[in-house]
Amino acid sequence: MAWLQVQTGLLLTLALQFFVIVAPDTGLPGMVPERPDSVDIVKKESHPVLVRRKRDWLWNTISVTEEREEPIPYKIGQLRSDRKVAVRTFAIEGEGVNQTFIVDNKGNLYVKERLDREKKALYHLTARMYDGNGLLIEDAGEFAIEVNDINDNCPVFQEEYKGSVMERTKDTVVQVKATDADDPNTDNGQVRYTLPNGRTSGLFEINYETGVITSKVSSLDRETKSQYMVVVRAQDMKGRESGCIATTSVAITITDANDNIASFTKRKYEISVPENLKVNEKIAVLELTDLDEDENKQPIFSIPSGNGNVFSSKPSKDNDCILVLKQALDYETQNNYTFTVRVDERLQFSPAENLNVANTTAQVTIKVTDVDEPPVFTRSVYNFSVPEEQMEKTILGTIQARDPDGVRKRIEYSILETGLPFRIDPTTGQLSVMRRLDREVEEQHMFKVKAQEENGGLASFAEIFVTVLDVNDNPPELTANDIFVCENDVRNTVIGILGASDKDDQAASFTFSLALPSSNFSIRDHGNNTAALLVKEGPFNLEDSSDYSVEVRISDGGQPLMSSITKLQIKLCQCDAKRVFSRCKASMQRMGVSVQALLAILLCILTILVIVILIVMRKHYQKDSLASMKNSGEIHEQLVTYDEEGGGEMDTNGYDVSILTSACNDSSLLRHPDRRSHPSMYAMVQKPHHLSQPTACKGDMAAMIDMKKDEADHDRDGFPYDTLHIYGYEGPESLAGSLSSLDSSSSGSNLDYDFLNDWGPRFKALAELYGVDGADYYHQY
């Protein structure tokens, strides 16, 4: 402060002219212009003219403290001038003029409101002085008003802070930051951080200047305590007691590390397992506890004893131990297993926190329970092979299955598929071939065999593969390109290349030769399964009517040796010098008939011959039968039926008279279902009792007719005999005449047909036919 007063006095002494701005009341630094030269003022026509030489002005800054506790407005400085002007006024321009700063006629500078450095720390103003006429005497230039800071703001934490650190580590947790609105270049705005003494003071520490919080010890344990609340204090004035204090709470989370080993919940486990449990299926789950988080649970299970071949272990989704069956169980072989399961873990920190209390081993006892099991095959898949074309009942092998239970039930074997050329013995399981196999038709047979316990018990299945081995049983077949001979072909001209193919799977070595000698052609075997057809003797004439062909014999060289003979047609062509034909006599024909095709053709022909012979023999037999009937003198008649009484010829149907001869077989044309004779109503009413007639099967026509009449009279289920009119003809010269009753008179009959009147109007025509009085008939109705 003294230095500022000395500076002010010096400036007042060095001032040569015009004005000086001071602040004697406040002791604040003033602004003093430096004016080395004088200025002459010349008046012309009452308009003074200010003339001066260039000079340098020196202006200082006015400093004023913010938030002053003084009545408003209060003076902060004064504008002065040594120029003797009777009337003068001062004016200021710039930031905050008239609102924040004002000046009076004496040059006193006032503040109208409280200043806040945090809102505005520096104001730039310009001072001017005028005479009584309002003329500018001097332009004072620019000066600044600087607002000095006081510690009127406390530190502020702008956010809530949360931090984390892994357990059992020394590491950075979080950085906190408090802001202070005061001038950061002064102690008012400089903040320092501390942790108050408390429960966490021994666990965490904070950097005094940066606010970085770190863990102080490596003994933090998440399983003991997973979160801490730490209070951070921020104080300005560089942490001096006079500084303003702010506090905040920081939540520090202790993150998990894999520092606890998993532990079995039990030391011993007893588990019952059925013997039919499938391999790789779960047996049981051994529960574990692990204080670490799920993502840090990494158990490793093992079975140290030899039972590791039968059982295995693996972690579940919850990191428990899953026991898995690795090998099939058999109650009859072993029904009890005891072994130990161990758990280990790759820890981030050793030793484990719970090493002294964890159960890292567990004893497991497996008790196998007996189950009625299906038969067990000695193999799940059976493979057999058999050469093709083998004789029937060839034994392929034996399929065996056993009952794994102690009862040892009898096993029955069967083939599931039907229509196969195989048979299995139901008792022994012996598999055999029922018919010949052909590899060219089906190379491999696949089917399933069922083994079932007796009395429809449990069953199991096995797959059977039978491979048919190839045998050289197919003759070779000729293959040839378009073969033709030209008219001008000379001796040894190659007219075609012959090849062969074989359906058998064996490697063949074909040889070619002529089955019959040819005067025109020959074959040259190349020895590589091909041959050339050559001209033996020429020339040829297209006008010649000869048909050229050769019979080619091919042998395949296999065991047994198979050969074939194929007739190969050769067409004759007219060719140019390069053997390019332009016209041919006939197209090539290649004929070859296999043995199987020949046998089929012969069988068809034989069948047709047998059918023809049978037809001829039947015709001949029928002819002999007709001749014998004529020779026996049998009377031929025709049976005529009428749809209604008195019908004409159009109402008749003809029947063979052989119907009448049925009396020789059953003595009746129409029989009751019980095959007993029942008298007709007609016979019961009118017909007197007749003695039984002799059987008419001795050629006596009269006896047969009497018998038929008697049957008709006593068969009540049949039609009245008179509705059947029998016409007998013995030729034009017959003396017997007609046997029909139509011409017989009713008067001559010993029967009375009056009862027909009682039968109603439906029998009116019949009653009139037999002479019933019409008047009486209608009189009754």
Among residues 114, 127, 123, the alpha carbon closest in space to that of 145 is found at: 123
Residue 177 near residue 155 (C-beta atoms within 8 A): no
In angstroms, the CA 101 to CA 86 distance is 25
For the chain, what is the domain count? 5
Residue 151 near residue 237 (C-beta atoms within 8 A): yes
Which positions ≥6 away from 461 have C-beta within 8 Å? 416, 448, 449, 450, 451
Give the CATH number for residue 463.
2.60.40.60
Tell me whether residue 43 is in a domain: no
The confidence score (pLDDT) of residue 336 equals: 92
In angstroms, the CA 593 to CA 567 distance is 9
User: Would you give the distance in Å from CA 650 to the centre of its chain?
Assistant: 79
CA distances from 263 to 96, 292, 359, 656, 707 (A): 78, 11, 5, 109, 115
Say yes or no: 242 and 338 in one domain.
Answer: no
Say yes or no: 169 and 233 in one domain.
Answer: yes
Say yes or no: 129 and 219 in one domain.
Answer: no
Among residues 286, 281, 269, the alpha carbon closest in space to that of 311 is found at: 281
Tell me whether residue 599 is in a domain: no
Tell me whether residue 605 is in a domain: no
From the CB of residue 57, how many other CB atoms can be counted at a distance below 10 Å? 16
Helix (H) or strand (E) holding 712: helix 701-714
Say yes or no: 192 and 162 in one domain.
Answer: yes
Tell me whether residue 203 is in a domain: yes
Structural domain that includes position 163: 156-255
Classify 257 as helix, strand or coil.
coil
- Give the residue carrying structure tokens 């009127």: 152
Tell me whether residue 299 is in a domain: yes
Classify 477 as helix, strand or coil.
strand
Say yes or no: 494 and 456 in one domain.
Answer: no
The confidence score (pLDDT) of residue 427 equals: 92
DSSP annotation of 635: P
Tell me whether residue 326 is in a domain: yes
Residue 712 near residue 741 (C-beta atoms within 8 A): no
Q: Using alpha carbons only, give the angle 374, 376, 378 rounded to the nearest 5 degrees.
A: 170
In terms of Cβ atoms closer than 10 Å to its own Cβ (0-12, 13-18, 19+), residue 115 is: buried
Say yes or no: 361 and 380 in one domain.
Answer: no
DSSP annotation of 655: E
In angstroms, the CA 677 to CA 682 distance is 14
Residue 382 near residue 397 (C-beta atoms within 8 A): yes
Say yes or no: 380 and 453 in one domain.
Answer: yes
The confidence score (pLDDT) of residue 729 equals: 44
The confidence score (pLDDT) of residue 671 equals: 45
In angstroms, the CA 739 to CA 657 distance is 14
Say yes or no: 195 and 144 in one domain.
Answer: no
Tell me whether residue 178 is in a domain: yes
Averaged over successive runs of 10 residues, the pLDDT of the chain (781 residues) comes to 38 34 38 35 35 43 84 83 73 88 86 90 87 76 84 92 94 94 90 88 91 93 92 93 93 93 94 92 94 90 86 92 92 90 91 89 93 88 88 87 82 92 93 88 92 90 92 87 87 90 84 89 91 86 81 88 89 88 67 70 93 90 67 48 48 50 45 48 44 49 80 66 47 53 50 76 79 48 37
The confidence score (pLDDT) of residue 305 equals: 78
In angstroms, the CA 708 to CA 190 distance is 152
The confidence score (pLDDT) of residue 599 equals: 86
Say yes or no: 139 and 176 in one domain.
Answer: no
The confidence score (pLDDT) of residue 244 equals: 94
The confidence score (pLDDT) of residue 25 equals: 40
Phi, psi at residue 154, to the nearest 5°? -95, 155
Q: Which residues on adjacent β-strands are paired with residue 569?
A: 549
The confidence score (pLDDT) of residue 450 equals: 94
**27-31 own/partner pairs: CB under 8 Å, 24+ apart:** 27/1, 28/4, 28/62, 28/63, 28/64, 28/76, 28/77, 29/4, 29/60, 29/61, 29/62, 29/63, 30/60, 30/62, 30/77, 31/58, 31/59, 31/60, 31/61, 31/62, 31/143
CA distances from 83 to 46, 231, 599 (A): 19, 66, 157
User: Would you give the distance in Å from CA 574 to the centre of its chain?
Assistant: 67
Q: Beta-strand (E) ranges in 68-207? A: 74-81, 88-94, 101-103, 108-111, 122-131, 136-148, 156-157, 161-166, 172-175, 178-179, 192-194, 204-206
Classify 595 as helix, strand or coil.
helix
Domain end call among 255, 275, 304: 255
Q: Beta-strand (E) ranges in 370-443? A: 376-377, 381-387, 394-398, 401-402, 411-415, 422-424, 430-433
In angstroms, the CA 700 to CA 354 distance is 129
Domain end call among 585, 606, 628: 585
Domain end call among 122, 148, 174: 148
Say yes or no: 137 and 230 in one domain.
Answer: no
In terms of Cβ atoms closer than 10 Å to its own Cβ (0-12, 13-18, 19+), residue 462 is: buried
Residue 130 near residue 137 (C-beta atoms within 8 A): yes
Tell me whether residue 403 is in a domain: yes
Say yes or no: 408 and 483 in one domain.
Answer: no
